[in-house]
Amino acid sequence: MPSGTHLRSSACGVLWLLTGWCFSCTPPEEGEDQGSRPRSPNPNPVFFSELIHVPPAQDTIFLSYLRVCRVPAWEALLEEGVIRDVSLFELEQVEASLKEAQTWDFLLLFEAVPGTESERVFGTTHVPGACPGFINPTHTVLRTEALATTPNSYFPEPHPMYRSRSTEIPYLIEFIGVEDTPEALATYRRLMETYFGPENGALVEEGKLYNLIALETTEVLFQAPGVSSWNQLHVSGDLPEYMELDWDSVYAELHQRLFSIDLDSTWRQMPPIIERPGNYKGRLLEEFWDQ
C-alpha cells in the first residue's frame, strides 16, 4: 500500500517543502474553473504510522523482531478486517535537519478501517516493545501517530499498467510541519484539496506518477524526546521512466489546464512551513507488504 504526493515549485524546480519559504495566504481568484479536477476515491480510511531508528548493522535483528513479534498480530488484524494494508519502508535520508542521534531508518504505515482504535494496532502504550521469545530487540520507536487523508489528496491506486511494480519503484517520503495554527492548517488543506491533490491525481490517472497519499496527523500517540515534529506525512511512488521529465513545465501546464490560473499564483498562497524534519527516499520491503 504505497502512497504519497509530489509538490514541485514551478519557479524553483524543487520540492516546496524543502524551501521553508513563507507565503502569504490570499484567497483563490474568483471565477476559477475547478469542475474538471479529479476526485479522490475512498475518502475515509484511517492510517497509523510508526517511525523507527535501528542502529548500524542491526537491520537483520530488527526484521527478525518483526517476523516473530509483529507479523502474527498483523496477520490476525488483516484476517479480522481491522487493518487493510501494512507497508514497511526502509528510509534513506535525502535532506533533513536532524541530528545523527535522530536518524530515521524505517517507517511502518498501516491502513485501517474507519473507527479503528489505536490500541488495536499498537497496544495500550502505543510503543511496541519486546515480546516473549525474542531477545534483545535493538530498535527504538521514535514516534507513533494516527492520521487522516488530506481531502481530495488520496490516490492510492496506480495506473493499471503499473500495479505489479509496487516493490520495484522508489518512493519519496516527506515529513512536513505546517505552521500549527487553525488558519494556516485550513489554508494548507484548502490548497491541497483544490489544487495540488487533484493535479497529482491527474498525473496518477495519466500514468506519469505511480500513486499518492497525503496524510495529516490527527493525534500524536507517542513521540520520543528530541524528535522533530510534523503534521503532514506524504508518501509517493516515482516511475523511473519519467524521472527526467521537466516537471516544472509539466506542473505549470497541468495547473493552467485544470484550473485556468498560473501555478505561481497558487504557490504564493501557501502558509509557512515551520518544521522540515526530513525528506527521504523509501524502499518498500516486499516481505512485509500485504498485497
Question: Which residue matches cell numbers 535525502?
Answer: 94
> Any residues with CB less than 8 A from the CB of 281 and at least 6 apart, and which?
91, 92, 94, 170, 171, 172, 173
How many helices (H) and strands (E) would you count in the chain?
A: 7, 8
Higher pLDDT, 115 or 42: 115
pLDDT of residue 277: 75
In a domain, 2, yes or no: no
pLDDT range class, residue 145, cuts 50, 70, 90: very high
79 backbone dihedrals φ, ψ, rounded to 5°: -65, -35
Q: Which of 2-16, 101-115, 237-251 has the lowest mean pLDDT?
A: 2-16
Q: What percent of the chain has pLDDT over 70?
A: 81
**pLDDT exceeds cutoff 60 at 160:** yes
Which domain range does residue 69 map to?
Answer: 16-21+38-288
In a domain, 277, yes or no: yes
Q: Across-strand partners of 279?
A: 95, 174
In a domain, 4, yes or no: no
For residue 130, the SS3 value is coil
Higher pLDDT, 176 or 129: 176
> Any residues with CB less than 8 A from the CB of 103 and at least 6 apart, and which?
53, 93
Max distance between CA atoms of the chain, in angstroms, equals: 64
Cα dihedral 244, 247, 249, 252, rounded to 10, equals 170
DSSP 192: I
In a domain, 8, yes or no: no
**pLDDT exceeds cutoff 90 at 76:** yes
In this structure, are residues 124 and 199 in contact, taking their beta carbons and an 8 Å threshold? no
Please count the residues of the chain: 291
In a domain, 175, yes or no: yes
In a domain, 3, yes or no: no
In a domain, 6, yes or no: no
For residue range 217-233, what is the model confidence (pLDDT) as tens digits?
Answer: 999 999 999 888 899 99
pLDDT of residue 17: 30
30 backbone dihedrals φ, ψ, rounded to 5°: -65, 150
Q: Which of 14-23, 130-139, 194-203, 217-226 has the lowest mean pLDDT?
A: 14-23
Domain count for the chain: 1
**pLDDT exceeds cutoff 50 at 195:** yes
pLDDT range class, residue 36, cuts 50, 70, 90: very low
**pLDDT exceeds cutoff 80 at 282:** yes
pLDDT range class, residue 77, cuts 50, 70, 90: very high
How many C-alpha atoms does 7 have within 13 Å on its Cβ side? 30
pLDDT range class, residue 7, cuts 50, 70, 90: very low
Query: Computed from CA positions of residues 14, 15, 20, 21, in that sequence, does the dihedral angle turn out positive or negative?
Result: positive
Q: Which of 41, 45, 123, 35 has the alpha carbon at shortest distance from 83?
A: 45
Q: Across-strand partners of 51?
A: 107, 143
**pLDDT exceeds cutoff 50 at 211:** yes
Measure Cα distances from 1 to 86, 92, 211, 267 in Å: 7, 19, 10, 29
For residue 244, the SS3 value is coil
In a domain, 280, yes or no: yes
